[in-house]
Chain A
């Protein structure tokens, strides 16, 4: 069931293409994150949905209706800006009430809804405060309340937490997720923080240079990255060059002295991608030497020099003895823990 649909949307500023061929189907109630490095076109895409920018090509549909024909003031979307963009001359309650006034909601109902929404974001008693007299986190909550009180069909959040310190950000993430779950508002979050995207979203859209690299659940994008970019962007990863040997009866996948039965349907030179925490030290496997060993409390971090290039290994600190620096080791992993893609593909 598609609710919000972006169909091959593109945006050019003069000669430069900022967003290209962006297709996405969002289901009702879903929490989607746009994740990508700075300048990859996340804000631009969000602004096209909001209506502040017109797409150069493609269509945006909400419940099957073309959204590009609707002026931004009539789209009924809730938006939280990175700078919050609160109205500094209005109190918290007046800020939140503004959208309801524009919708000509009767005064009594307006007051009731403003109070309820401010309470929901944990700001009871702050009704009469002016934004300048509030902390960053409180302003953030006012901005969220202002966007939610109009009961938007879609909530758009442009890096709403990036101005907060780490601890407050974590708290707000949890709160945001709870509020979104309770209200069931379809939400799109723009972020360049991969852990934020992982912990909040139902699905992540990983973007790079205006293009979609992968769309998937947090687990899928982390464990089955579709491209090198995705695997590198979402946490640390090891990439090993590997070959398929069709000479033996069941074809084998070979990387250095590590080998396993080749999965069906793959051919030619491939790249194996394994997360550091999925690699173990064993009797057989990739020959390597430990270069550095770093103790990090609950885990050990090993930097190894393997026959297929440098490798990072993370082992839980479970009390078992760990190899020392300079020691020769064999690196091994289960086939379920790796992802394969044809080499040469980016």
Chain B
């Protein structure tokens, strides 16, 4: 569309031919647009509409337009706490993946040939396994008295009671960080690929030590990669379902698990829709906002 607008003034003559051509992009894009409309826009619009409907234990869903659900979310502190928890978990997960993932990618990048491919496989391997299986692994290690690690530590006498992991925020964050790590490592890895291989030698020859090189030369250059990874990890963590559902369970609800429960257990679809829409809007705002900030910060240097 923008191409059409841009070229129109450039060709003031032969409008007939231009008109014929102008419709071509629309015709060509039609199949994709239909799909986009059918599977994304329409369901989304219906969900938004649903969030304004009424619901009662006995009357079910009433197709009216009221602000009841939104009012409930805005006034009941339960929702504030729940959304607070969701974004706290997402933020902590993002921090952990950044702090661990960036050095991981750097070390990986410096490894010699065969080791590099091996460890890359180790890091990316989990992507091939279902999130459920990976999360259940954590539950097996730390789940209550029967968790493998807890059993070991208790029999060694290092701890008296099992480490609290299941149904705790810490547990959810740790398991999510594990699940999300590949996205951060890949993102930083891509940034490292763009680094000049001689750049560290150049800094060394100017008298910089390895700590200074890391802080002044490497870090600023891979920062866009870290931030891009952070956006991916943050939005995936905030909307994650499987891991919070298994580790957090019913006691520790986040936005995704709450929406799920409203839809399938309470059957209060309108409230569930309101929670889902709010999560979506918040995420879009956060992602678009931080992306704009990053673009502005790095436009000068990397474009």
Residues of A within 8 A of B (CB): 50-52, 72-79, 81-89, 98-99, 102-103, 130, 132, 146-147, 150
Contact = CB atoms under 8 A, between A and B. Distances in A.
B302 interface: yes
B217 A99 contact: no
B289 interface: no
A89 B204 contact: no
Nearest to B216: A98
Interface stretch (B17-25, B150-158, B207-215): B207-215
Contacts of A85: 196, 198-199, 201-202
Contacts of A147: 205
Contacts of B197: 83
B93 interface: no
B209 A73 contact: yes
11 contacts: A52-B204, A73-B205, A73-B207, A75-B205, A78-B205, A86-B196, A87-B221, A99-B206, A102-B206, A103-B207, A132-B302
Given A81-B198, A81-B202, A89 B221 contact: yes
Nearest to A82: B198
Nearest to A129: B300
A88 B198 contact: no
Contacts of B302: 88-89, 132
B217 A87 contact: yes
Contacts of B206: 73, 98-99, 102, 146, 150
A78 B208 CA distance: 13
Main secondary structure of the interface of B (DSSP, over half): helix
B201 A102 contact: no
B207 A83 contact: no
Contacts of A79: 201-202, 205
A280 B108 CA distance: 64
Interface in B254-299: none
B220 A73 contact: no
B136 interface: no
A81 B204 contact: no
B10 interface: no
A50 B198 CA distance: 12
Given A73-B209, A83-B198, A130 B301 contact: yes
**Which of B199, B201, B205 lies at the interface centre, i.e. has the most chain A CB atoms within 10 A of its CB?**
B205
Interface pairs A-B: 9 shortest CB-CB: A99-B206, A102-B207, A85-B202, A85-B198, A89-B220, A79-B205, A81-B198, A85-B196, A85-B199
A83 B216 CA distance: 20
A51 B196 CA distance: 19
Contacts of B207: 73-74, 76, 99, 102-103, 150
A131 to B, nearest CB: 9
Contacts of A77: 205
B203 interface: yes
Interface of B: 196-199, 201-209, 212, 216-217, 220-221, 300-303
Given A73-B206, A98-B216, A102-B207, 18 more contacts: A52-B201, A72-B205, A73-B207, A75-B205, A79-B201, A81-B201, A84-B196, A85-B199, A87-B199, A87-B203, A87-B217, A88-B221, A89-B302, A98-B203, A99-B206, A102-B206, A102-B212, A130-B300
A89 B201 contact: no
Contacts, number: 70
A52 B301 CA distance: 28
Contact of B208 (A83, A89, A98, A146): A98
A86 B202 CA distance: 8
B160 to A, nearest CB: 51
Nearest to A146: B206
Nearest to B298: A89
Contact of B301 (A73, A89, A103): A89
B229 to A, nearest CB: 18
A86 B221 CA distance: 12
B196 A83 contact: yes
B206 to A, nearest CB: 4
Contacts of A83: 196-198
Nearest to B212: A102
Contacts of A130: 300-301
A73 B204 contact: yes
A285 to B, nearest CB: 54
A78 B217 CA distance: 18
A13 B209 CA distance: 26
A212 B129 CA distance: 57
A50 B221 contact: no
**Which of A52, A76, A85, A147 lies at the interface centre, i.e. has the most chain B CB atoms within 10 A of its CB?**
A85
A103 B206 CA distance: 9
Contacts of B300: 130
Nearest to A102: B207
